[in-house]
């Protein structure tokens, strides 16, 4: 049956591997969730056997655990530590290679090699929102051809979360849990009396073409209702909220006492910047062979927390921990709007989970709001 | 804050340097030198005053350097560089015939068209004269479009006066005023000793019809701007050139951020009124 | 012979003395004298009794510090229309720098010792003079601090 964007169908659990095979059929590398070192990571997978079957994640400030849920779900975990940034804006990118040529030099590799086509299997709503935030960074005044090429070469199979972690707050950011466009296919995994199945929504013609190769049956109103209920329950269950209005105005508080206060806890370790799906800061490195005749320039991930991130003329501009902490949170929530027209935060909560001291970005904003309204300054972002 | 985005010069891959040959080089001061590059054959290297390039030394690295030449002469590309680190030290050792990789031009420009009809006050400190020089050239080439022209320059010592011969030539003209001061000197110097802000105080420009371009160390710019305000020049008629760490110059690396602004895209030239609110924030 | 009315006009017209009423002005004129210094001549030396201040009418004066084994360091130049010297106001009334004319300089000097006595007796005069000198000292202090920063030095946050 020829499907069109907006159409839905049901894929049985037993036929899931057929979907993976269909994704791989055009020479695509299928990248999906798998377990690495007691955490979920996105890597090349061959089928459901490689996935975190029956596992769920417990996340809290400074805490991440994978636990047995016993439900056989393929997407029962909620959020891997790192998102799709590893694929689209990799930690190490070769910018160019060059070699000496008389008194000059000549570029031998301009980094324009076409990327391998890929299928991203299991993109969460917040992750997809993050990708679209990063689109604005790398295709703005200037365009990064590598990013654009990798983005175009990736087929996106989204997945709606079946449960939220304690650290999730996508609902208050307006980025989830439902997927709102930008995908080729979207899955909602259902495990109930109707059986273990996936409601599949077609998002593009490319997605329709892939789905056409996979055995599916029509979706019933009961299937649709079950998916909608599940998704709504996820939104309702979120215990953290971001006060987006206060967040947006953080740049009006450069000297807020909260920054110095939290800086006493903050280790400036930069974990938050590594796991945040929208953080994009990089640095460049030049390396040469021993003879000095061939050189390579690479770009690698950096963090605004690193001490010489802001180095000029013999010193760094942001030397204190408070200044660097202020930079990260103010950029993420406030000045990102000025730069890209959206918030840099998608409510995934990774920064809360992976902060060794459990700094909670929603709590930080609530504290600023409370101080504005004369509150205690120790309010939390948690819904009562 | 309103950030005005410049007209970008798109490149297929904005991270690839174009190798340009060094045509000539000159020592300016003990640690400062000027390189003149041969631009690409067709069309030269057009740029607007205040813009900068990323200059790449093969195998060593890249640095952001303002363009210091005459924008009406795109047939040559001039940069004045201070040797302060690995890349610039190596660059200083290059000879005519050697190659420097160039990416650019990047960034916003001194608004020389908007300033037409006004008195022009250039306030420069130290190496800050280098990014201003293209705008001074423009003003002199189009002298009739401006009122009185003042170049007010502060250097460390008489031995650190950049472009000294040129300043002396400008000073000899009848249609501009040039005042130079140094922070300290020995008695063999018969000129002014004192801060450059004092020169602002004493220059006879019409504050209500003045555009000021200020460039130098950040502290010097803060005091110069305060002095201009004291004289009655409005904040939207004062422009400064900011600097931050840069790794890409195209808004991808994130290093040059200053509050909401990317120095590489929204600057380096800023209208003071647009950034007054963040200008004095520490460690921003 | 110096004509008193030209001194009076100088004092009346100079912005530094703006707003001073006739009696006070007359008092100042009584303490004033025209002076002239050839290039290289000293207006005062470090350590000397600070009993005057100067209004520079024309010329240039270098404020200098002398240290053994090196040429004198000029820390500021003062020229047309500027006020020079505030040490006459602060005990122990000794100059802390040399002041050397770098060109032919004409100045009006004011007898600080005489004025000090008069200010003690007439606090209104004291206030009028102090409120004019404090900004001069403030400007010199701010300028000196900026110069201290060595802004244009290699590590002094100079431009790259």
Report which secondary-structure segment, H or E, holds B154.
Answer: strand B149-155
- Which of chain B's residues have a Cβ under 8 Å away from the Cβ of A96? 15-17
Residues A319-343 have pLDDT tens digits of: 999 999 999 999 999 999 999 999 9
Mean pLDDT over the full length of chain A: 94
Report which secondary-structure segment, H or E, holds B86.
Answer: helix B86-92
Distance CA C137, CA A157 (A): 72
- The distance of A312 to chain C (nearest Cα, Å) reads 8
Residue of C33, C74, C38 whose CA lies nearest to C53: C33
Residue of C nearest to B127 (CA): C159
Q: Is it the case that residue A124 has pLDDT exceeding 50?
A: yes
State whether residue B59 sits within 8 Å of chain C by CB: no
Q: Is it the case that residue A380 has pLDDT exceeding 80?
A: no
Q: Is it the case that residue A256 has pLDDT exceeding 50?
A: yes
Distance CA A123, CA A158 (A): 4
Q: Which chains touch A (3 or more CB pairs under 8 A)?
A: B, C
Q: Is it the case that residue A61 has pLDDT exceeding 90?
A: yes
Residue A230 or C19, more confident: A230
Q: Is it the case that residue A5 has pLDDT exceeding 90?
A: yes
State whether residue A314 sits within 8 Å of chain C by CB: yes
Residue of B nearest to A315 (CA): B245
In this prediction, residue A375 carries a pLDDT of 59
Q: Is it the case that residue A242 has pLDDT exceeding 90?
A: yes
Cis peptide bond N-terminal to A237, omega within 30: no
- Which of chain B's residues have a Cβ under 8 Å away from the Cβ of C156? 217
State whether residue B94 sits within 8 Å of chain A by CB: no
- Cα–chain-centroid distance for residue B132? 4
State whether residue A317 sits within 8 Å of chain C by CB: no
- The distance of B203 to chain A (nearest Cα, Å) reads 31
- Which of chain C's residues have a Cβ under 8 Å away from the Cβ of B195? 143, 146-147
Distance CA B21, CA B170 (A): 30
Provide ipTM, 2 decimals. 0.93
Mutate which of B183, B204, B249 to disrupt the C interface (most C C-beta within 10 Å)? Answer: B183
Interface of A with B in 256-315 (CB under 8 A): 280-284, 286, 288, 292, 295, 297, 299, 302, 304, 308-314
Residues C12-66 have pLDDT tens digits of: 889 899 888 888 888 888 899 999 999 999 999 988 999 999 999 999 999 998 7
Q: How confident is the model at residue C146 (pLDDT cuts 50, 70, 90)?
A: confident
Q: Please check whether residue B28 is in contact with residue B80, taking contact to mean a CB–CB distance below 8 angstroms.
A: yes
Q: Which chains touch C (3 or more CB pairs under 8 A)?
A: A, B
In this prediction, residue B10 carries a pLDDT of 41
Geometric angle at alpha carbon B263, from B258 and B268, rounded to 5°: 125
In this prediction, residue C160 carries a pLDDT of 36
How many Cα atoms within 13 Å fall on the side-chain side of residue B267? Answer: 27
Q: Please check whether residue B266 is in contact with residue A340, taking contact to mean a CB–CB distance below 8 angstroms.
A: no
Mutate which of C151, C153, C157 to disrupt the A interface (most A C-beta within 10 Å)? Answer: C157
User: Which ranges in B119-185 belong to alpha helices (H)?
Assistant: 129-141, 164-172
Average the pLDDT over each of A1-10, A112-121, A127-136, B157-166 and give the range with the smallest value: A1-10
Mean pLDDT over the full length of chain C: 88
C151 to B84: CB separation less than 8 angstroms, yes or no: no
Residues 6+ positions from B67 with CB-CB distance below 8 Å: B47, B49, B51, B52, B53, B77, B78, B79, B104, B105, B131, B134
CA quadruple B36, B40, B42, B46: dihedral sign = negative
B125 to C72: CB separation less than 8 angstroms, yes or no: no
Look up residue A101 and give its two tokens.
Answer: 């040529």
3-class DSSP state for residue B46? coil
- Which of chain B's residues have a Cβ under 8 Å away from the Cβ of C150? 156, 183
- The distance of A295 to chain B (nearest Cα, Å) reads 5
Chain C residues with CB under 8 Å of a chain B CB are 60, 62-64, 71-77, 79, 100, 102-103, 142-143, 146-147, 149-154, 156-160
- The distance of A313 to chain C (nearest Cα, Å) reads 6
- Which of chain A's residues have a Cβ under 8 Å away from the Cβ of B10? 142-143
Q: Is it the case that residue A210 has pLDDT exceeding 90?
A: yes
Look up residue B6 and give its two tokens.
Answer: 């410049």
A138 to B243: CB separation less than 8 angstroms, yes or no: no
- The distance of C151 to chain A (nearest Cα, Å) reads 11
Interface of B with A in 242-261 (CB under 8 A): 243-245, 247-248, 250-255, 257, 259-260
Residues A78-87 have pLDDT tens digits of: 999 999 999 9
Residue of A nearest to C152 (CA): A313
State whether residue B82 sits within 8 Å of chain C by CB: yes
B188: left (phi over 0), alpha (psi -120 to 50) or beta: alpha
Question: Once rounded to an integer, what is the mean pLDDT over residues C76-94?
Answer: 92
A314 to C160: CB separation less than 8 angstroms, yes or no: no
In this prediction, residue B245 carries a pLDDT of 96
State whether residue C72 sits within 8 Å of chain A by CB: no
Count Cβ–Cβ pairs < 8 Å, chain A vs chain B. 127
pTM of the model: 0.89
What whole-number percentage of chain C has pLDDT above 70? 92
In this prediction, residue A285 carries a pLDDT of 96
Q: Please check whether residue B151 is in contact with residue B119, taking contact to mean a CB–CB distance below 8 angstroms.
A: no
Residues A344-367 have pLDDT tens digits of: 999 999 999 999 999 999 999 999
Average the pLDDT over each of A8-12, A211-215, B264-268, B279-283 and give the range with the smallest value: B279-283
CA distances for C5 relative to A146, C11, C30, angstroms: 82, 10, 11
In this prediction, residue A1 carries a pLDDT of 56
- Which of chain C's residues have a Cβ under 8 Å away from the Cβ of A314? 154-155, 157
Mutate which of A313, A316, A317, A319 to disrupt the C interface (most C C-beta within 10 Å)? Answer: A313
In this prediction, residue C158 carries a pLDDT of 41
A302 to B255: CB separation less than 8 angstroms, yes or no: yes
Geometric angle at alpha carbon B218, from B213 and B219, rounded to 5°: 110
Q: Is it the case that residue A277 has pLDDT exceeding 80?
A: yes
Residue of A32, A54, A64, A58 whose CA lies nearest to A45: A32
Q: Is it the case that residue A51 has pLDDT exceeding 80?
A: yes
In this prediction, residue A383 carries a pLDDT of 43
State whether residue A317 sits within 8 Å of chain B by CB: yes
Q: What is the mean pLDDT of each run of 10 residues along chain B (284 residues)?
A: 42 87 97 96 93 97 98 97 96 96 97 98 98 98 98 97 98 97 93 94 96 95 94 97 97 97 97 95 92
B84 to C154: CB separation less than 8 angstroms, yes or no: yes
How many Cα atoms within 13 Å fall on the side-chain side of residue A4? Answer: 0
Interface of A with B in 57-96 (CB under 8 A): 95-96
Q: Please check whether residue B84 is in contact with residue A313, taking contact to mean a CB–CB distance below 8 angstroms.
A: yes
Q: Is it the case that residue A287 has pLDDT exceeding 90?
A: yes
Distance CA B163, CA B161 (A): 7
- The distance of B81 to chain C (nearest Cα, Å) reads 7
Residues A132-191 have pLDDT tens digits of: 999 999 988 899 999 999 999 999 999 999 999 999 999 999 999 999 999 999 999 999
* Nearest CB neighbour to C76, from listed B193, B197, B219: B193
* Nearest CB neighbour to A138, from listed B17, B244, B252: B252
In this prediction, residue A384 carries a pLDDT of 36
Geometric angle at alpha carbon A181, from A178 and A185, rounded to 5°: 90
């Amino acid at each position: 049956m020829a499907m069109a964007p907006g159409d839905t169908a049901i894929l049985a659990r037993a036929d899931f591997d057929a979907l993976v095979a269909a994704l791989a059929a055009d020479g695509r590398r299928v990248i999906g969730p798998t377990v690495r070192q007691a955490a979920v990571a996105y890597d090349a997978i061959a089928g459901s056997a490689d996935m975190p079957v029956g596992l769920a994640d417990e996340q809290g400030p400074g805490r991440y655990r994978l636990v047995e849920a016993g439900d056989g779900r393929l997407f029962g975990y909620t959020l891997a530590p790192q998102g799709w940034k590893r694929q689209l804006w990799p930690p190490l990118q070769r910018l160019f290679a060059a070699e000496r040529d008389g008194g000059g030099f000549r570029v031998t590799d301009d980094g324009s090699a076409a990327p391998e086509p890929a299928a991203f299997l299991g993109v969460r709503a917040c992750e997809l929102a993050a990708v679209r935030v990063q689109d604005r960074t790398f295709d703005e005044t200037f365009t990064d051809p590598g990013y654009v090429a990798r983005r175009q070469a990736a087929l996106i199979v989204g997945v709606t979360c079946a449960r939220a972690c304690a650290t999730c707050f996508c609902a208050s950011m307006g980025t989830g849990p439902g997927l709102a466009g930008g995908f080729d296919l979207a899955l909602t995994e259902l495990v109930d009396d109707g059986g273990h199945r996936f409601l599949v929504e077609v998002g593009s013609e490319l997605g329709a073409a892939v789905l056409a190769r996979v055995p599916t049956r029509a979706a019933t109103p009961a299937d649709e209702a079950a998916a909608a209920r599940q998704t709504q329950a996820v939104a309702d269950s979120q215990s953290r909220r971001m006060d987006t209005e206060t967040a947006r105005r953080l740049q009006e508080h450069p000297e807020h006492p909260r920054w110095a206060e939290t800086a006493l806890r903050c280790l400036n370790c930069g974990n938050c910047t590594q796991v945040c799906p929208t953080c994009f800061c990089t640095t460049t490195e030049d390396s040469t062979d021993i003879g000095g005749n061939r050189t390579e320039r690479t770009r690698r991930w950096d963090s605004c927390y690193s001490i010489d991130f802001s180095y000029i003329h013999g010193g760094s501009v942001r030397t204190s921990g408070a200044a660097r902490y202020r930079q990260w949170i103010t950029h993420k929530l406030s000045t990102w709007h000025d730069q890209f027209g959206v918030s840099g935060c998608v409510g995934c909560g990774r920064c809360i989970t992976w902060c060794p001291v459990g700094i909670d970005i929603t709590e930080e904003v609530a504290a600023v709001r409370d101080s504005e309204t004369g509150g205690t300054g120790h309010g939390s972002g948690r819904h009562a | 804050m309103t950030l005005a985005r410049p007209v970008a010069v798109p490149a297929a891959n904005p991270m690839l340097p174009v190798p340009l040959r060094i045509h000539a080089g000159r020592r300016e001061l003990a640690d400062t030198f000027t390189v003149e590059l041969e631009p690409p054959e067709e069309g030269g290297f057009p740029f607007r005053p205040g813009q900068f390039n990323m200059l790449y030394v093969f195998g060593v690295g890249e640095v952001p350097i303002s363009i210091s030449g005459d924008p009406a002469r795109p047939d040559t590309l001039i940069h004045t560089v201070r040797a302060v680190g690995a890349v610039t030290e190596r660059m200083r050792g290059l000879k005519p015939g050697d190659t420097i990789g160039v990416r650019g031009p990047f960034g916003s420009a001194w608004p020389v068209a908007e300033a037409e009809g006004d008195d022009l006050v250039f306030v420069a400190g130290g190496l800050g004269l280098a990014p201003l020089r293209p705008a001074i050239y423009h003003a002199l080439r189009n002298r009739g479009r401006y009122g009185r022209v003042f170049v007010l320059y502060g250097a460390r010592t008489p031995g650190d006066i950049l472009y000294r011969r040129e300043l002396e030539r400008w000073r000899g003209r009848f249609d501009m005023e040039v005042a130079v001061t140094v922070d300290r000197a020995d008695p063999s110097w018969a000129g002014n000793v004192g801060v450059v802000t004092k020169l602002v105080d004493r220059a006879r420009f019409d504050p209500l019809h003045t555009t000021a371009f200020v460039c130098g160390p950040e502290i010097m710019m803060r005091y110069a701007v305060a002095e201009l305000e004291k004289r009655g020049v409005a904040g939207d008629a004062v422009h400064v050139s900011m600097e931050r760490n840069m790794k890409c110059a195209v808004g991808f690396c994130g290093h040059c951020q200053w509050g909401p602004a990317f120095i590489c895209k929204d600057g380096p030239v800023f209208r003071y009124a647009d950034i007054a609110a963040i200008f004095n924030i520490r460690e921003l | 012979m110096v004509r008193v009315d030209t001194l009076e006009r100088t004092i009346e017209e100079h912005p530094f003395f703006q707003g001073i009423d006739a009696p006070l002005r007359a008092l100042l004129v009584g303490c004033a004298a025209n002076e002239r210094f050839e290039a290289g001549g000293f207006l005062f030396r470090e350590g000397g009794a600070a009993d005057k201040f100067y209004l520079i009418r024309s010329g240039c004066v270098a404020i200098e510090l002398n240290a053994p084994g090196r040429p004198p360091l000029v820390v500021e130049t003062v020229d047309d229309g500027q006020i020079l010297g505030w040490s006459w106001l602060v005990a122990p009334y000794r100059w802390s720098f040399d002041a050397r004319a770098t060109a032919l300089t004409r100045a009006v000097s004011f007898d600080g010792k005489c004025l000090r006595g008069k200010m003690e007796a007439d606090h209104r005069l004291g206030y009028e003079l102090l409120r004019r000198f404090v900004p001069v000292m403030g400007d010199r202090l701010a300028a000196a601090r900026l110069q201290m920063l060595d802004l244009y030095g290699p590590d002094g946050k100079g431009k790259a």
